Amino acid sequence: MVTDVLTASVPAAGRKTRSELSQQRLRAARWFLVPMLVALSVVAGWPLARSIYFSFTDASLNDLYGAEFIGFGNYLRWTVLDSGVVRYRGTLADPAWWNAVWNTMRFAVLSVSIEAVLGMLVALVLNAEFRGRGIVRAAILIPWAIPTIVSAKMWAWMLNDQFGILNDLGMRLGLLSQKVAWTASADTAMTAVLIVDIWKTTPFMALLILAGLQMIPKDIYEAADIDGVHPVKQFFKITLPLVRPALMVAIIFRILDALRIFDLIYVLTPNSAATKTMSVISRENLFDFDNFAYGSAQSTLLFLIIAILTILYIWLGKVRFDGGDR
């Protein structure tokens, strides 16, 4: 009643319809987005465009601006020998590049899968009500809060084959018959990297899943308990479907991080072919070997692979970034 009186007291010419207010808010939102878009264009868009451009040239660190356009030569080129044999060159014909692709994909699939399972378990524990839950929630985030470089150096000491604590415990408990060079051996290097990454980023996965669990109404579980639904069935029929949007977003974030993993491997297992990823081999060609154009082509391929896999994952999972299903 009061609203109607106030609305009636406003002159008709001064009123704004709901559509006009919506348009005004939309224009305001666009203006607020302008600084962010400009910053992204300067910080990310321009370097990406330059890398793509350099991938089609013969640029080097000594002559970036005098580079000549060579087309797709850094990606794939071929030469017909006098014997009639066709010799392929370029990134797409480089065994080292495909080894890096395989290492990256294997690392991403294994790390994200294990972290999703462990993150779900940790989130379910943290979502339960018990004394000291706040302290446990804060403590579980410590590995994620530690910088990656610090974590890598810390674990490098723990995994050392001569004085590392893991080898010492393994020998004392009878789990190891001899000391293992975790980061130096090709057989265990990827395992060592996975252990460190899972230890560090599982809390991040658990935090995002926990946020989704907090949004589930407790009335649903109370009704399920009254109906006599088993807790395991409640998880698969209630918890998992309702927490699925948060889980999918968490997996997307982790896939993006895992596909471009660099610092952990660069510090923990340097110069190891068993763990060399696309980011590591691109950096080597860009700066260590002065194959700047070749490294730019590898960086461009890394960007395309990440973009394609992310779009495919979102499409297959039918996830919207607003948290709802399609």
Give residue 205's Cα distance to chain centre: 11
Residue written as token pair 């060592």: 192
Model's pTM, two decimal places?
A: 0.83
Cβ atoms of 60 and 76 closer than 8 Å:
no
The residue among 3 and 226 whose pLDDT is bigger is 226
Could you give the CA distance from residue 125 to residue 74 in angstroms, rounded to a whole number?
51
**The pLDDT of residue 311 is above 90:** no
The residue among 55 and 85 whose pLDDT is bigger is 55
Could you give the CA distance from residue 92 to residue 98 in angstroms, rounded to a whole number?
8
Q: Between the ranges 37-46, 208-217, 309-318, where is the mean pLDDT highest? A: 208-217
Confidence of residue 316 (pLDDT cuts 50, 70, 90): confident
Tokens of 144: 């994620």
Query: Could you tell me what percent of the chain has a pLDDT over 90?
Result: 44
**The pLDDT of residue 326 is above 80:** no
Rounded mean pLDDT of 119-130?
91
Q: Which helix (H) or strand (E) segment is 140 a member of?
A: helix 133-140
Give residue 277's Cα distance to chain centre: 14
Rounded mean pLDDT of 105-119?
95
Residue 147 has φ and ψ, to the nearest 5°, of: -55, 150
Q: Round the CA-based radius of gyration of the chain to a whole number and report it.
A: 27
Tens-place pLDDT, residues 239-254? 999 999 899 889 988 9
Could you give the CA distance from residue 157 to residue 268 in angstroms, rounded to a whole number?
10
Rounded mean pLDDT of 182-195?
91
The residue among 29 and 87 whose pLDDT is bigger is 29
Confidence of residue 43 (pLDDT cuts 50, 70, 90): confident
- Domain chopping of the chain, boundaries: 16-53, 95-317
Among 37-41, 289-293, 310-314, where is mean pLDDT lowest? 310-314
Neighbours of 157 (CB within 10 A): 10
Confidence of residue 323 (pLDDT cuts 50, 70, 90): very low
Confidence of residue 83 (pLDDT cuts 50, 70, 90): low
Tell me the CATH class for 95-317.
Answer: mainly alpha
